[in-house]
Each structure stands twice: as C-alpha cells, then as structure tokens.
Structure 1
Amino acid sequence: MKRRDFFKTAAVCTAASALPTAFAQETHKENDPMHQIPLASSPGTRKGDMLYRTLGRTGENVSAIGMGGFHIAKHGLTDEQSIALVRSAIDRGITFMDNSWDYNEGQSEILMGKALKDGYRQKVFLMTKIDGRTKETAERQIETSLERLQTDHIDLVQHHEIIRFDDPDRIFAESGAMEACLAAKKAGKIRYIGFTGHKDPHIHLYMLKVAAEHGFHFDTVQMPLNVMDAHFRSFAQMVLPELVKQDIGVLGMKSMGDGVILKSKTVSPIECLHYALSLPTSVVITGIEKQEILDQAFEAAKTFQPMNRDQIAQLLAKTKEVAVAGKYELFKTSSHFDSTAKHPDWLGGDSPTVQKLAPPST
C-alpha cells in the first residue's frame, strides 16, 4: 500500500470509529433530563434598567422582575418605609406586584393598597392569591382583597398553595372556588385566573389535567424555579414544558428560597436571578424588603443575558451535590412554607357533594 493511501485509509477508519462515540454523546444529551428544560427564546424588551415580557397568551406586557408582597410587611419595616419601597420599585420600572390574601394576616395587602394610591395603581399589573377552596370562602377572600388593596379590580387572582392532590378537585367541584373566580371575572372584579404551588410538580400537572377536564385554561401558573430545582422533584423539567406548550404565563418564585438556597454557598443572588430569567418565565417574583435588595434585582435585570445550555449546565453542576435531596428547598421537603397546612380553616369546608355523601359526625 502506498504511503498516501495508507493515511487516507487510516483517516477514514479513525472517523468511522469516532461516529459511535459522537452519536452516543448526542443521544446522551437528548436523554439528559437537564436537556429537557426549556430556555427563554428572548431576554425580553429592555427599557431603562428593566426587562419586560409577555404574560403567556394574555398579551399583557409585564416587568420580568416582580415584587414579592410577603416581604413588604416584614418586621422591622415601618408602614412609611414599605410604601416608599413599593413606589420606588414602580418608579424604577417594576410593574408586576405580587401579594396574597393571607400574607402577614392581611397587612401585606393593606400596605400595597396604600402604596398604590396617588395614581400608582394605574402603573402596575396587580396580582393576589386566595386560599379558599369553596365558593363561599373564595368569594369572601376576593372581596376582602379588593377592599384591602383599595381597588375595584385585581388583574390576576391565583388559587394559592396547590400542594395537596385534593386541592384541584375541591376547587373545581360544585360550589368550589373556581365558581367564585369565574363569577368575579364576569363581574369585572378580576381579569385573569391562575394558580400557585411549591410542593410537587405532579400536583401542578394534576391541576392542569383537572382544569382541562372542566374545559378551563389557566392564564398563569406560579412555581419554584431555581438552581436547586433541576436536581430534585423538578418543576422546570416536568411542568415548564407543558406551560410553554399551552402558552400559559410562567411566574417563577423562590429563586433563592427565601435566602435558604444562598446558605449552600454555591451560588450568588445574581446567579439565582439570571438562571430563573434564562427560563421561559414571564415574571420572576422575588422578595424585596430593603433598598439594597431592590438594587440587586435591578442589577440582575440590567446585566442579564440569556444563558445557553453549556452555561446552564456549568451553573447546575455547582449545585448538584447539595441539591439532590432537596435540603435547601424547604418548601418541597418540609411544612415550613405551608401556610394553609397551619391554617386549614382558610381553605373552607367540604363541598356540598362531600357533605351529602359523608355528613359530618355530630
């Protein structure tokens, strides 16, 4: 064999032998659960130091960073400081306001209602949540929220803490909470309907299934999306693809797990926010209780560039060892964040059907 032919044959053999390895690597990537996590197709529209994205198929344009309502009523803040903080966030470009009927025994809604006076209500997309699972309880909570927030309508009301498999059934049952929400929407008191939960992605998927069986399409879904989630009972892997498929607005929460994730000392606050923003989230809701945290949120938005899959993989590799058992995602593995478990009366009683089939014992 001539020397030239020898090298040509050797090159072909080498290339051929490499094919199975390359094919195996590509197949491995496709089968890797991390590879199934959808990524944002666009960073959003930048205006000043804030990014804006579309809220699912509602068409609403909202800030990519949302202001968490729980933290504005934390101990140590005066009413004046809380109001000033909310207004500062709005003045700088945050338009998505998060809240809940049960936050701080209603004080969070009361403070936000005060902050949204003097024309600020017209500048924001206002969301709150209700805990009631029955029509009667949900109606009462919606009316209370409207009063506290000092508004004639709430842009988005979400069923809060869908953390039990019976929650969807109770909400969609006869005389369930969904009837109250639909009636409030018809009356112009609320514009959109969603749900939240932090415990298990299977429960989120079941909620979507029950909704579909009743011919209902949620406008938004809120869930934990953070650098630990991908390794343990993952909402990003299991629920996020379905929300993208259905064009449901994705509200990310617990990007830092109320600071617990940062205690792992594996990631920084900016990395946490950049990861959540790199997913197809409409809004990443983050707790803000002081000016430095507000500045941090704007720094994250200002410096954000969508992460590619290699960058995502590198970041998740940093958290894998400490994340696999859910140690730092206490909202999944403990009752620490389960306010409705501590206050079951907030949910209301059983539906009329249940009471008829199994009357309460006297």
Structure 2
Amino acid sequence: MPVSRRAVIAAAALAPLAGRLVTAAEPLIRRPIPSTGEMLPAIGIGTSRRYEVEPTPDAVAPLKEAVKTFVALGGSVIDTAPSYGTAEDVLGLILAEPGLRQKVFLASKVDTTGRDATLAEFEQSLKRMKVDTLDLVAVHNLIDVTKNLAILRDLKDRKRIRYVGVTVWRDNQLDALEAVMKHETLDFIQVNYAIDNRAAAERVIPLAADRGVAVMTNVPFGRDRLFKAVQGKELPAFARDLGCASWPQVFLKYVLGNPAVTCPIPGMAKAAYVEDNLGAARGKLPDAAQRKQMEMFIDAV
C-alpha cells in the first residue's frame, strides 16, 4: 500500500504550533539566478500530478489555498508544463485571484517540435493560465532542444519570457543534459535530485555552478519513495540539530545543502504541506559533513 506524506508527518510528530509560528516568522532562504542576480525563495511548487484536477471551483479550492499560503509565507516559484494535464488551467483559475500573479515566478515548458507548433504551444500556455508573459520557459526533456532553445531566445528578446532553460527527470538523460549545458547558454536547468538519488550531483549540478546556471530540482521526495523508507522512524539527532520538524524538511534541507541548487520544487497540494515544506528554507542548512551523515542514514534504511 502506498505510504502517504500525512502518515510520515504524523509519525514524526510535528513541532508544537507555537514553535511553528516562531519558525514561520524567519525569512526564507533566497538564492540568486546566476545570469542576472535576481533572488528567488529557495523552495517552489511543482504542479505535476498534484494540480492535475478538474478545473472547477470546488476541486481547485484547496490548491488555491495552498498557493495563497505559499505566497503569504514568502514563496514565489511555481513550475508547470503543458503536459501536466489540467495543471495550467488550474493555475489560470488560481492566479486570477487579485494581486497574486505579480507575486509569482511562473515557469512552464515547451515539448513539441517545429517552430509553428512550439509557438502555438507557448501561446496556449499563456491562454490557459490567463497571463501575458512567463518568467521562465524550458525545453521539456530536451525535446528538439537546439531549435526550441532558439525559439525561446527569440521570445526572450521580445520580452515574452524572462529566462530560458532545459529540463530532464530521469538519470539516463543526464549525459545528454551535460552535453547541452556545455554548448548552450542557459539561465536554468531542471533536474531530478534527492537524498537517495544523487547522480545529478556528480557532474551536472557542479557544471551548472561552473557555467552560471540556476538549478531547479524535481522529485525531491522520490515520488514518495523516501516517505516509504522512513515510515515509522523517529527523526534522528542530526535532523533536530538542523531544526527539522518533519521528514519532508529533512529531505529538502539535504537538497538545499548543495549550494548550487537554486530551488527544489516539491508538489504541494495542501496549505499544511506548504507550511511544513517552507520550514526547510529557514534556519540552518547542513554542511558537507552533515550531508554525508544524512546520506549514510538513508542508504542504510
């Protein structure tokens, strides 16, 4: 049976409300986009799966509450894609809330071939989300990457988008991603990276640091794989030393402990998950020795 985040959080016993309020008062850690120096809050929202609901007021209501809580607590980055089912339509309903769009760093993708098709997909994303511009558009899964990057750079020159990038989500794409990074000028990459999936940290993430590329990281919980691994386990001493109140905070602080990571984007479909996850972007982050200790712990469970 799948292990829910709710079950893991309950087992780990979140800190008392008073403690959470003190933590929430601390500012979020922010990281720069190397190509411009613009600062971003260090945790964003990913909309794959979690936001693929029927775009109706009732179905969208808890997601709207999550996004409003996210922004109220200092978050801004929301990542989506045309291929994420109804997610862009759902964001269109959420971002219609007065004043919300201006506070969000909105990222999407293109994943088709041919100039006309790619431009049509981009315009459709704008229409679905009811916006005029996007902050970031990336070539999804390196699809027709050279031609699509050229199209995105033209859109950037025309002020339709602000940043361009590329994405992958499987380890077997990392070699191809590395090759693209060596030959293209990028603002962002998005790559899979978690405490139990560290392949991207071997070459790709260091290369991003060398080339001045921002790094978004997806599936930081391993599609719930990590929750299953720690089910029923108490938080270890190193977690409490870092101020972690839950396992999700442990997993996210590990990712953020890599200074080349700009922003992990966990799925957050409930306001309570937003509050919990953003706790990882406050206070202490693990140093190299602590991160090694965290790796050893997870490798042994």
Which TM-score band (shorter chain)?
0.7 to 0.9
Choose from 164, 176, 183 the match for 2:154.
183
Choose from 124, 132, 137 the match for 1:157.
137
Q: Which has the higher contact order (CA 8 A, sep 6+)?
A: 2
Which residue is equivalent to 1:122?
102
TM-score (norm 2): 0.79
- Pair 1:299–1:171, CA change in 2 (3 A): closer
More off after superposition, 89-98 vs 76-85: 76-85
Task: Find the aligned partners of 1:151 and 1:273 in 2 and give their Cα distance.
Answer: 30
CA-to-aligned-CA distance 1:212-271 (integer Å, 9 cap, x gap) = 2xxx410001111211123xxx10111111100011011122110221222122882221
Choose from 244, 262, 281 the match for 1:301.
281
Unaligned runs of 5+ in 1: 1-45, 323-362
TM-score (norm 1): 0.66
Task: Find the aligned partners of 1:310 and 1:316 in 2 and give their Cα distance.
Answer: 10
1:206 matched to 2:157? The reply is no
Q: Which has the larger radius of gyration?
A: 1
Task: Find the aligned partners of 1:83 and 1:238 in 2 and give their Cα distance.
Answer: 37
**Matched residue pairs, number?**
257
- Pair 1:72–1:262, CA change in 2 (3 A): closer
Q: Which runs of 4+ in 1 moved over 3 A?
A: 46-49, 74-77
- Percent identical pairs in the alignment equals 24
Choose from 58, 73, 85 the match for 1:92.
73
Q: CA deviation at 1:71?
A: 4.6
Q: CA deviation at 1:298?
A: 2.1
Which residue is equivalent to 1:5?
none
More off after superposition, 61-70 vs 76-85: 76-85
Q: CA deviation at 1:145?
A: 0.6
Unaligned runs of 5+ in 2: 1-23, 236-246
Task: Find the aligned partners of 1:194 and 1:205 in 2 and give their Cα distance.
Answer: 13
Letter matched to residue 64 of structure 2: I
More off after superposition, 124-133 vs 49-58: 49-58
Aligned-residue CA RMSD (Å): 2.1
CA-to-aligned-CA distance 1:18-75 (integer Å, 9 cap, x gap) = xxxxxxxxxxxxxxxxxxxxxxxxxxxx984422221222222111010112255245
Q: How does 1:172-251 map to 2 (within 5 A)?
A: 172=146, 176-199=147-170, 200=172, 201-209=174-182, 212=183, 216-230=184-198, 234-251=199-216
Which residue is equivalent to 1:264?
229
Q: CA deviation at 1:301?
A: 2.1
Which residue is equivalent to 1:320?
299
